[in-house]
Amino acid sequence: MGLNAGNLDRRIQLYRAERTRAPAGGFIEDWKPFGSPLPAARRDVSDAEKWANAGSYHQLQVRFQIRSGSFARSIRRSDCLTCDGEVFEIAGIKEMPGRRAFVELSCIAGQIGTPEVLA
């Protein structure tokens, strides 16, 4: 069964860190929404797949698929996203097989360093 637009039943919001200079020197990292909310398909990584890839059972690993385009191709691993109130760190980005119709974001829920302000 292939992915099509009808499978995009979730909404994700991407965030990008913006660095500004602090009044006392140094930098402050502030997370700002990056783009508009996007329709996405969500697939949780199975325990068998985690085991086969030496993954951690203690982390929720999820794959989100979004439509490809210039915005999707500008997403970075340093960005993060929210879906249904959960914060996800982006661990990997790849084009899905086919005619460059979809991009897959491999994510890990609630990683240290993700912005608490989003939770």
- Quickly name the fold that domain 8-113 has: Thrombin, subunit H (2.40.10)
In the prediction, which pLDDT does 97 show? 82
Beta-bridge partner residues of 102: 67
- The domain limits of the chain are 8-113
- Rounded CA separation 66/8 (Å): 7
Q: Is 50 left (phi over 0), alpha (psi -120 to 50) or beta?
A: alpha
In the prediction, which pLDDT does 118 show? 56
Looking at 8-85, which runs of residues are DSSP E strands?
Answer: 10-21, 27-44, 61-67, 80-83
Is the distance from CB of 41 to CB of 7 less than 8 angstroms?
A: yes
How confident is the model over 19-39, as pLDDT tens digits?
Answer: 888 888 888 888 999 999 999
101's tokens: 């119709």
Q: What is the pLDDT along the chain (119 residues), one digit of tens a residue?
A: 466 667 899 999 999 998 888 888 888 888 999 999 999 999 998 655 654 555 555 678 899 999 999 999 999 999 999 999 999 999 999 998 877 799 999 999 985 454 555 54
In the prediction, which pLDDT does 6 show? 72
